[in-house]
Amino acid sequence: MRQPAHGGNLAWAAALAGCPPDAILDFSASISPLGPPNSAIAAILSQIGNLKHYPDPNYSELRLALSHFHQLPPEWILPGNGSAELLTLVGRELAQLAAIILITPAFGDYYRTLAAYNANVLECPLSLVTGHWSLVISPLSLAKDKGQRTKDKGLLLNNPHNPTGKLFSRDSILPYLEQFALVVVDEAFMDFVPPNEEQSLIPVVQEYPNLVILRSLTKFYSLPGLRLGYAIAHPDCLAKWQLWRDPWPVNTLAAAAAIAALQDKEFQQQTWAWLPPARNQLFQGLAKVPGLQPEASAANFLLVESQESTSQLQQQLLKHNQILIRDCLSFKELGDRFFRVAVREESDNQRLLTALDSVLSAEC
């Protein structure tokens, strides 16, 4: 079976480990272990009888719930079949520009959607200075396109950044909105940052018609199987995208679950209280394992540098411990010396740490 480019492929992992998929302890997909919320499950069950009807093609209730959640008019919001579907629409939009600056290392789906529309991609790597990642658009990246102009180009990045977990300040991104024709910020992991610390650009989206923000409801609320995300952008842009895509991209159950989850303040508070100590436990434990160096993160995952081959480490953990970590081979800048792990509950984190220590000690 082909090795996956994404995390969370339990069928592949189970085949390698020789066990059922539900026996795998999955650290490869950065999904909260606390959900799905009971409120979302109850909402799904309440809508079973409505499966005999088509969804509202305008998703009026869902857009209204999202508009209340973000304090925006509903016409500035477009729900989608996961942020992946919306990313495909973004790729089509970006490909119409002279070039796209892509902040790297970058999520593999960015390359997929840009390649699908033959976009001209200029890679701009994050700067790593004294152990800290920083966002700087290098003139060398622009020079590859035989020019320093940005007004005819687009910019695509995510915040918090995947796979490093770096949280860029809102102020560090705002200047680029004046420089680029279109700026797309994927905020799939921003929900994990507490409100008093988050750096979302949603509060300024109405000031910038060239800004597109992508959000996901699947990671924070543990609903990846339902496929639900949304875009926030100028209504003219979203109306055009609506014409590009198939009807009814969001199913009835997903829409109901999203409405309930957005209103579940208790679950949100629980997640913000859980993550920092759980992430610190995992970070401190990884730092104590010889040969491993974790990176500080604002998200629900950690990037870890390893002195040993991480693809081999991944296979050893699967075969001997039925634990799946995310190798970083799909991030060409990182290669076989980095892996990524989701933050899980304390007992799961400790099981991973014990397994890593055992495997790496045996290889020494």
CA 257 to chain centre: 19
> Fold identical between 10-36+266-362 and 38-263?
no
The burial of 145, by beta-carbon neighbours within 10 Å (0-12 exposed, 13-18 middle, 19 or more buried), is given as middle
pLDDT band of residue 1 (cuts 50, 70, 90) is: very low
Least confident of 12-21, 253-262, 347-356: 12-21
Name the nearest CA neighbour of 102 among 20, 182, 197: 182
* Predicted local distance difference test score (pLDDT) of residue 126: 85
Average pLDDT estimate for 9-36: 92
Determine the CATH number of domain 10-36+266-362: 3.90.1150.10
Among 343, 349, 1, residue whose Cα is nearest residue 165 = 343
The listed CATH number (3.10.129.10, 3.40.640.10, 3.30.230.10, 3.90.650.10) that belongs to domain 38-263: 3.40.640.10
Task: Check whether 129 has a pLDDT greater than 70.
Answer: no
pLDDT > 90 in the chain, percent? 82
Over range 279-303, report the average pLDDT: 97
pTM: 0.92
> What value does the mean pLDDT take over residues 182-202?
97
pLDDT bracket for residue 6 (50, 70, 90): low
Do the Cβ atoms of 141 and 99 come closer than 8 Å?
A: no
What is the domain partition of the chain in residue ranges?
A: 10-36+266-362, 38-263
Residue 274 has pLDDT above 70, yes or no: yes
Residue 145 predicted with pLDDT over 60:
no
Mean pLDDT throughout 98-111? 94
- List pLDDT tens digits, range 23-65: 999 999 999 999 999 999 999 999 999 999 999 999 999 999 9
What integer is the mean pLDDT of 345-363?
92
* Region of poorest pLDDT, from 122-131, 155-164, 249-258: 122-131
pLDDT, one tens digit per residue, over 316-345 is 999 999 999 999 998 988 989 999 999 999
